[in-house]
Amino acid sequence: MELKTILAFLVFGFCFPLYHWTYLYFTEKKPSLTKKGRINDCYASWLKKSTEEGQHLLLVHQLRNMIMSITFLASASILLVGFLLTYGLTGGPVTEGPSLIESVNYPVWLVFFTLAFSFLNLLLALRHINNLTVLVRSDPEKLEKIEGNSAPAYLEKLFKKGSQRYMLGRRGFLYGIVIFFWYVDAWVFIGLTVLLTATLAYQHDF
Burial of 76 (0-12, 13-18, 19+ CB in 10 A): middle
pLDDT digits (tens, 9 = 90+) for 189-202: 999 999 999 999 99
What's residue 51's pLDDT? 79
Residue 95 has pLDDT above 50, yes or no: no
What's residue 110's pLDDT? 92
Q: How many domains is the chain built from?
A: 1
Better-predicted residue by pLDDT, 50 or 13: 13
pLDDT digits (tens, 9 = 90+) for 143-152: 888 888 788 8
What's residue 8's pLDDT? 93
The structure's pTM equals 0.84
Question: Residue 168 — pLDDT band, cuts 50, 70, 90?
Answer: very high
Number of Cβ within 10 Å of residue 182's Cβ equals 23
What's residue 149's pLDDT? 79
Who's near 44: CB < 8 A, 6+ residues apart?
A: 152, 156
Between the alpha carbon of residue 158 and those of residues 135, 164, 181, 186, the distances in Å are 10, 10, 36, 39
pLDDT digits (tens, 9 = 90+) for 18-27: 999 999 999 9
Between the alpha carbon of residue 41 and those of residues 5, 55, 70, 117, 186, the distances in Å are 42, 19, 22, 28, 41
For residue 144, the enclosing domain spans 3-205
pLDDT digits (tens, 9 = 90+) for 5-18: 999 999 999 999 99
